[in-house]
């Protein structure tokens, strides 16, 4: 196991210790969140999981964790998820795993949200990781032009359609993804609002004022961060 994987595993285990029997738990997406799901499965608690992606749901079921859809639960007690970047005040960029819309829906339905990561994800300013933007497929090229105009207003490079094997990446929600060019985001709240106002944009990977706590693993152990 690589050093980075070992750190992700420690962060996931720290977060899994927060879970109590009877809880409804949001299960994040990505390599770090998968360590949390594995650690939770190892505890053999009677919990109900709400997965943020089809891949996470498959892993949860494989580990014996009962799952339900978001519409089948009234609220989620705790969601644990990874992040592509952790900025000041636990501002986040998420969506590198192409699940940002479902992740944000689960986060917003949660009483408490905990982010887990290795120390490399902590940054002084968001934007060195490309900001994902989920877009309706119909007319997405036109929508991307409107996105580019907004990004330019904030001094950010134009977005690029995310491809895999020369084909657009399709999210679990049936949408495409554009990734903004890498540059420091100096006004994340204003950018979030401007992007959300574009017709055709479903949502974006800025998770602001949503994380209650972070477990960040490094060489010396797991550090707890708060906003």
- List Cα–Cα distances, 222 to 8, 11, 90, 125, 216, in angstroms: 10, 6, 16, 22, 5
Residue 74, Cα to own-chain centre: how many angstroms? 21
Q: In whole angstroms, give the CA distance from residue 164 to residue 16.
A: 32
Q: Which value, in Å, is the radius of gyration of the alpha carbons in the chain?
A: 17
Give yes or no: 103 in active site.
Answer: yes
- Answer for the pair 219, 162: CB distance below 8 angstroms, yes or no: no
CA angle 68, 71, 75 (to 5 degrees): 85
Could you give the angle at which helices 140-153 and 188-196 cross, rounded to 10 degrees?
150
Give me the catalytic one of 57, 85, 103, 134: 103
CB contact burial 181-213 (16+ within 10 A = b; e otherwise): eebebeebeebbebbeebebbbbbbbbbebbbb
Active-site residue list: 103
């Amino acid at each position: 196991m690589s050093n980075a994987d070992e750190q992700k595993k420690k962060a996931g285990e720290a977060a899994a210790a927060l879970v109590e029997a009877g809880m409804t738990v949001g299960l994040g997406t990505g390599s770090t969140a998968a360590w949390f799901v594995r650690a939770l499965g190892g505890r053999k608690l009677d919990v109900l999981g709400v997965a943020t992606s089809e891949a996470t749901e498959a892993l949860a079921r494989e580990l014996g964790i009962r799952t339900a859809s978001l519409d089948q639960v009234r609220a989620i007690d705790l969601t644990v998820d990874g992040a592509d970047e952790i900025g000041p005040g636990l501002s986040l960029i998420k969506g590198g795993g192409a699940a940002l819309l479902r992740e944000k829906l689960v986060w917003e339905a949660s009483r408490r949200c905990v982010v887990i990561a290795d120390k490399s994800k902590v940054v002084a300013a968001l934007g060195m990781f490309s900001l994902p933007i989920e877009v309706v497929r119909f007319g997405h090229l036109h929508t991307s032009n409107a996105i580019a105009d907004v990004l330019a207003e904030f001094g950010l490079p134009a977005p690029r359609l995310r491809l895999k094997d020369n084909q657009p990446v399709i999210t679990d929600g049936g949408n495409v993804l554009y990734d903004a060019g890498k540059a420091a985001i100096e006004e994340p709240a204003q950018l979030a609002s401007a992007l959300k106002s574009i017709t055709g944009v479903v949502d974006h990977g800025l998770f602001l004022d949503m994380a209650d706590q972070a477990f960040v693993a490094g060489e010396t152990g797991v550090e707890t961060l708060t906003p």
